[in-house]
């Protein structure tokens, strides 16, 4: 072989040798960029960064050894190239996810209340000529300024006044109003033709739809105008140190789709008491129709209706009723619930008895897997359950338990992207992202196995006049006194650092049924 050919061959070998080392250097720089991004993830403990650094250090050492060999190293080059690409992509994606998660808690929603102006539509008018003229009705607000507007100042004074003032500002005219004691009475007046336009907060629609007589009222009316008012929530961002002190979170859910508001019914009323030091969780559900004092009015009302005056009113009512301060809340609706279940890949529970939901969806007895839509039907159904609304509360707790188990398991990592998309703009809370991150770090660092107990309070179904509907008797639940005391004590034990175990809920009774002489 000629000397110049030998030199050319050596240069080619040297070129391969340098290229392999160069690619290794790129992968090392990519690893450094990845570790910087990884260390800045606020939800991950520092120990995870050390573990990641150790694993990457070992991988880089192995690839360096192979990259330093002088023989052909196409496989090593490919490995270095792939490693470099993956690490660079991860270094870029991690802060994206971090920002996405932080923004979930910074999205300002729910702080607006819509007050709508309703008229009876043409179809309903045509079906009731004895009350309404059959001529076409205008759906333009300007054509109704001289009509009589029906309000419910007693039930919702501030929103009604805001709406009337908005009309004056927009149209430079003062409208004529007539007041009723409740929105149900106001709606009845509209149906009887005693006024032309109903002014009502959109949040009251769900309350009226609960009344079987008016459950389809949305089909009879048409919105011709809307006014908006900022909601004074009165609950600042929570300062609870979730990793250091016990806390209670109220989970409220309404049975509506679409946007969420801080004023509205809470058809799910669940208190989750957490002690991060003893790893205890107590889930307590109250019937949505529980008859409790409404702080906004000073007398009894359905628990679900306390939220009509804001989430702060609900928390004050529960504090007075259960005797524990509740400073934190999470509000979701059916849209949120379905999205979360789907994002987690579904949840698994044990169904204690077979039943068929209102949409003919069948749930067999035994272990079942729930995806978004059938999970929603599972927690909504009450009519075909042996214990009605109380059974629905139990089903809600089952699914909540399953969600907690899945979110606190390593399996959640593969669902992070879907979960973040599912949560965007679909929940309201006063918990800060910093406090959630701290709790995540604690969970990942300690791999906590939470001890969860759950109870749902029962009671007697009856009728009573409610503050949200003066002069009317609505179906309510009078919770059993001894069960309310029992769950309050369990919550207190968790807050005080005591170890709690799942027990049988005591058989329901009221104080007047208790035989103090015998202790029974």
Q: How confident is the model at residue 110 (pLDDT cuts 50, 70, 90)?
A: low
pLDDT tens track for 135-158: 788 899 999 999 999 988 666 777
Cα dist from 474 to 184, 194, 287, 471, whole Å = 11, 24, 14, 10
Mean pLDDT across 169-178? 92
**Under the phi-then-psi rule, with left for phi > 0, alpha for psi from -120 to 50, and beta for the rest, what region is 193?**
left
Can you tell me the distance from the alpha carbon of 32 to that of 489, in angstroms, rounded to the nearest whole number?
A: 52
Closest CA to 393 of 382, 407, 377, 409: 382
Domain boundaries, the chain: 3-106, 112-230, 247-334+388-405+426-513
The three-state secondary structure class of 405 is helix
Taking the C-alpha atoms of residue 284 and residue 290, their distance in angstroms, rounded to an integer, is 13
Nearest one of 231, 256, 226, 232 to 115, comparing CA atoms: 226
β-pairing, 347-351 vs 366-370, is: antiparallel
Per-residue pLDDT reduced to its tens digit, 264-305 = 888 889 899 999 999 999 999 899 899 999 998 888 999 999
Eight-state DSSP code of residue 135: S
Pairing of strands 328-333, 247-254: parallel
Question: In which element (H, E) is residue 292 found?
Answer: strand 291-294
Average pLDDT of the chain is: 83
Average pLDDT estimate for 197-205:
87
Q: Which CATH architecture has domain 247-334+388-405+426-513?
A: 3-Layer(aba) Sandwich (3.40)
pLDDT tens, position by position, 351-401: 888 888 877 888 888 999 988 888 888 887 877 888 777 787 788 878 877
Q: 425: left (phi > 0), else alpha (psi -120 to 50), else beta?
A: left
- Checking if the pLDDT of 258 tops 80, the result is no
Mean pLDDT of 83-104: 84
Q: Which two tokens stand for residue 272?
A: 């989750």
Other residues' Cβ atoms within 10 Å of the Cβ of residue 374: 18
Q: What is the pTM of this model?
A: 0.77
Q: Check residue 155 and give its pLDDT.
A: 63
The CA angle 26-32-38, to the nearest 5 degrees, is 135
Looking at per-residue pLDDT, the higher value among 420 and 128 belongs to 128
Give the pLDDT of residue 13.
52
Between 320-329, 393-402, 491-500, the lowest mean confidence (pLDDT) is in 393-402
CA angle (255, 256, 258) in 5-degree steps: 145
Mean pLDDT value across residues 250-262: 76
What span, in angstroms and rounded, lies between the C-alpha atoms of 308 and 69? 73
pLDDT of residue 376: 83
pLDDT at 513 over 80: no
Cα-flanking dihedrals φ and ψ of residue 114, to 5°?
Answer: -95, 130
CB within 8 Å of 474: residues ≥ 6 apart? 211, 302, 463, 464, 465, 466
Superfamily of domain 112-230: Periplasmic binding protein-like II (3.40.190.10)
Q: Name which of 202, 196, 225 is nearest 137 in CA terms.
A: 196
């Amino acid at each position: 072989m000629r000397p110049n050919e030998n030199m050319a061959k050596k240069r080619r070998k040297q070129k391969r040798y340098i290229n392999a080392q160069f690619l290794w250097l790129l992968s090392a720089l990519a690893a450094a960029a990845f570790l910087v991004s990884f260390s800045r993830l606020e939800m991950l403990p520092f120990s995870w960064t050390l573990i990641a650094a150790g694993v990457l250090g070992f991988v880089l050492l192995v690839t360096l050894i192979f990259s330093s060999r002088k023989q052909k190293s196409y496989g090593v080059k490919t490995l270095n190239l792939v490693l470099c690409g993956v690490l660079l992509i991860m270094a870029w994606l991690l802060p994206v996810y971090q920002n996405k998660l932080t923004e979930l808690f910074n999205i300002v929603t729910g702080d607006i209340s819509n007050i709508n102006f309703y008229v009876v539509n043409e179809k309903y008018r045509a079906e009731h000529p004895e009350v309404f003229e059959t001529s076409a009705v205008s759906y333009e607000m300007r054509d109704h300024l001289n009509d009589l507007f029906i309000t419910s100042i007693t039930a919702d004074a501030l929103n009604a006044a805001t709406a009337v003032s908005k009309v004056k500002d927009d149209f430079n005219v003062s409208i004529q109003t007539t007041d009723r004691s409740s929105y149900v009475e106001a709606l009845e007046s509209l149906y009887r033709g005693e006024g032309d336009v109903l002014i009502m907060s959109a949040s009251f629609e769900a309350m009226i739809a609960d009344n079987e007589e008016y459950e389809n009222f949305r089909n009879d009316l048409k919105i011709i105008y809307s006014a908006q008012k900022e909601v004074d929530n009165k609950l600042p961002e929570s300062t609870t140190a979730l990793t250091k002190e016990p806390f209670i979170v109220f989970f409220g859910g309404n049975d509506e789709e679409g946007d969420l508001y801080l004023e509205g019914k809470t058809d799910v009323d669940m208190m989750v008491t957490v002690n991060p030091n003893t790893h205890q969780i107590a889930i307590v559900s109250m019937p949505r129709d529980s008859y409790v004092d409404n702080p906004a009015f000073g007398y009894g009302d359905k628990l679900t209706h306390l939220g009509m005056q804001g989430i702060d009113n609900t928390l004050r009512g529960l504090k007075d009723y259960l005797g524990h301060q509740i400073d934190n809340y999470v509000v979701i609706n059916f849209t949120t619930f379905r999205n979360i279940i789907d994002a987690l890949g579904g949840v698994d529970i044990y169904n204690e008895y077979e039943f068929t939901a209102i949409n003919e969806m069948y749930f067999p007895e035994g272990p079942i897997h729930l995806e978004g839509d059938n999970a929603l039907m599972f927690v909504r159904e009450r009519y075909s359950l042996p214990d009605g609304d109380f059974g629905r509360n139990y089903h809600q707790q089952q699914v909540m338990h399953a969600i907690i188990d899945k979110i606190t398991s390593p399996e959640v990592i593969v669902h992070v992207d879907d979960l973040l998309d599912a949560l965007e703009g679909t929940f309201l809370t006063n918990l800060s992202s910093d406090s959630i991150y701290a709790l995540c770090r604690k969970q990942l660092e300690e791999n906590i196995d939470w001890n969860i107990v759950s109870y749902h309070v029962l009671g007697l179904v009856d009728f009573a006049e409610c503050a949200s509907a003066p002069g009317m008797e609505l179906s309510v639940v009078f919770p059993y006194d001894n069960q309310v005391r029992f769950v309050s004590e369990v919550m207190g034990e968790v807050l005080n650092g005591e170890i709690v175990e799942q027990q049988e809920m005591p058989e329901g009774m009221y104080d007047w049924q208790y035989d103090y002489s015998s202790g029974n």
